[in-house]
Structure 1
Amino acid sequence: MAGGAKESPRQRMIGMMYLVLTALLALQVSNTVLEKFIFIDESLRHSVSTTTETNSRSVDAIRETVKKNGNRERDVSIVKKAEQARSLTSKVMKRLSDFREEIVKVSGGKDPETGVLLGAKDYDKQMAYTIGPEGSKKGEAYKIQKELNDYVTEINKLHKDLNESSIALDGKDHPLYKNNPEQKSKDFAYLNFDHTPAVACLAIVSELQSKVARVEAKALEVLASEVGADQLKFDKIVAVVKPQSQVVAAGTEYVAEMFLAASSSGAKPEMTFNGKAISVEGGIGQIKFKAQGGGYDKEGKAKKTWKGAIKINTPLGDTTFEVTEEYFVAKPVVQVQSQAVSALYYNCGNELVVNVPALGTAYQPSFKANGASVIKGSKKGEVTVVPTKGNVTLSVYSSGNKLDDIKLRVKPVPKPEIKVFSGRKPVDLRNGYTAPGPRSIEVKAIPDADFKSFLPKDARYKVVAWEATLARGKRGLASKKVTSETVNVSDFAAKAKSGDRIVIEIKRVMRMNFRGQTEAVKGLDDVIFTIPIN
């Protein structure tokens, strides 16, 4: 993305796309995500094709204007510079196309019948080509970086008013990553192609071509202004909309430019978006709005439209051009990460991490739940869900816009296992003790191992009430009511004889949750253990 003190809306959208690609490094890429990248790649390629055709017509317009003006020497030099811009652009576009095809080839090629990329998920093979051996900097991406930045340098030489920024940046120079400790140390190749699926690499290459086309368009615009080729011609006027992408994730900004194909800096058009006036800079209307989700089809896309109007003043009076633009809103993929993936535990602090990679830095989450209370975490996307019903619906929002409802199953907390010890060793309930028997008895509630591993703060148990009785036949000789886990039974040993038994009866077990609150564990108040005295 081009650097600079102030980022354009287009640059912010490009940065958002890079964040989506970076998020793939830590995820198991699903077929649905891959399909979205194919869709994005196709949209970008269409945009590049449209811009390239427009640029070609711009060169023709410059030639025609210079010819009509008598081929003045100064104007002819402008034509040569415009042709040079075309030549430089065609060369670098061809280079990127070859680079793209080689990525397809090394990752497995395409199915000859369906045209499907066979190695869509591969990143090892493409990395060997784009990055090369670790530390070598001999991968093709390093050559591409130099050629792209050299291209911008040569374009800037064509006119004093051209000051386009570099296209292929390292992490330390990238506005989005220069303050990110994990990304700023990466160079251009690693930032874009390290552990990136081949299908995403194609979208990256298409985006690079889009940047090249934009640089050329700016150069031709400046050159055209020198010969009057950008002046409005009233014999043929077409309203044009140039969206940055026809696919946007719900909750992100849709950004587009609406302008007249032959508009000039001298024209002062008035423009509206859905009936409301918009800002016009240099004859170009600035359109920006939050894309609203809902009404998704089975592929997770929602077809939307917006309407614009451009009014200009001509010698014949005011003329208004209207346009209706179609775009698609892609349903963002909401990813929920949790230790207890299969279900949440009832009345426990289930810690979740909810991410939406497609939103990138625009992701500003908030949560609501039906059947549970929620506690927002200290980091973005972190939330603690405390279920109060058997099923929970977690609603995910970003900047106040609802993204999705996540259905979560709830399961009861597993009961702990009650175990009896003596002298820190488990009591042998089958064989018992030789008279006079044990001197102390300890009773513990041992939590389920998986539950304790998932939620250690909710797996704190204690037997708070139990009774120990020395019995002979049907008669109890001595009894102790205990409120701690351990009791001294030396007095039992003084009375015990062979054939007696010690009966342990559990009265009450408590669990402490993540808030430090306690609750009784049901179903353990009738558990009885018998220790034989031989």
Structure 2
Amino acid sequence: MAGYKETPRQKMIAMMYLVLTALLALNVSVEIIQAFVSVNNSMENTNENLKLKIDETYARFEQQNLMNEAKVGPFWDRAKEVRTLSNDLISYIEDIKWEVISRSEKISVDEAKTTPLSEIQSRDKYDVSTNYFFGGSQDGSKGKAGELRQRIEKFKADVINQLDEKHRSNVKLGMDTEGPYKDANGKNQNWEQHNFYHVILAANVTFLNKLIADVRNVEIDVVSLLYGSISAEDYKFDMVQPKVIPNSKLVFQGDTYEAEIMVAALDSKQNPEVVIGGRTIPASGGIAKYTVTAGATGLQTYRGTIKVAGPDGELKEYPFESEYFVMTPSLTVAPTKMNVLYANVDNPISIAASGIPESQIQPTISSGTLRRDGKDWIARVPLGQKATISVVHNDGKTQRKMGSAEFRIKRVPDPKAFIANTDGGPVQKNMLLAARAIIPRMPDDFDFDLNFEIVSYTFVGVRGGDTYERPGTGNILTQEMQTFISNCKRGERIWLENIIARGPDGNRRLGTISLIVQ
């Protein structure tokens, strides 16, 4: 086919094919970068969950130490040392991560800490990160990679030393820095080359977060082994003392007194033998519950013994004595959330008269309405000065006044307007665009579940000396407003004024949100 000459149309098709091939290659690259972003996000979530898990283990460990410091103290001291070693290494890895992002992006370390991987422009580059980790050396020994390897190896050695010799083989520390490692051509590499040489920034960040997860896993395994090294048998029964735990030492006439009687260190596999006044109290799950009908008023005392098997298997007997107080019924009327009633909203009210069935309690309110809601009551009152709730006991035969309670009436406080989780001041442009909505929030000390709805607002901005002002309906910024924000420069101001919110008792005018775009 020598001498064959392509037509202009064939040349154009060939050129389009080349462009398409290049675009396909580019798409693969973008997909790989996005995969690293997704994996990194997953690793960050995993690290947060691992942190919560190890914190729970430390809390249980510390509680055991408080119960028996003499026995648990040595193990607790080692656990605290493991926590220090882990936190120090994780802090070092985090510093490396922020530093390499800072250098690659040419931004401050503080900015690097708040910039998601998906927004890092140089995440597909490796020149700056490779130079950072290798420091001009061929094998990475003079850069951060070599330093990181040494820190990991020291961490592993220091952590394993916190365990007894017999437990060290039970821990798989991971974080292998020895290899062997090979490149794509089968050539030998060291740990630094394998993980950081010509590796893009997205992969660097993901790998560093994976190292943090590895450290947390080592910490959890080692601390769990230390916790498991505490023998329950050694300290559960060495300070056995009888304990009587009543539901309440104050009992009303006609009510039932109930108490849990047990040894101080509970063994749920062994039921103690409890005898009070010649009466044997049945036990289940290591606990015996003593119940008796309260008759005469005043202080009531009872005595008994607990028999429980000691560490040697022999029954040991422990005497105990306790008391409770019997009194006549009284009335309690209280709002469950506040010491006042709020106008035009549902106010949960607790009304209790000990010793009287709920069905025989009949409350009334001087202003507004009162209705039952499960075991409690709901009061709804108009705006005014005060409201009084009065209660009578009606057993179907007679009615007896139990008393009354007076409450002040207040107006529901105004909510505060927020956007992008702020009520004013500096705000990131991307966060403002992502939020797009004005959210009304009630004060933190207001416990009612009330919903206010933004009805309208005014969007105001200044650009080039001209004032940009647009009305808004609802709580969502219009597309035109969002476009204005997108074109804002750092330091420009935006105001959300005349914010009207609709609540259960009508409309409220909220404060202005003054924003400085960052």
TM-score by length of 2: 0.36
More helix by share: 2
TM-score by length of 1: 0.35
Of structures 1 and 2, the one with the larger relative CO (CA 8 A, separation 6+) is 1
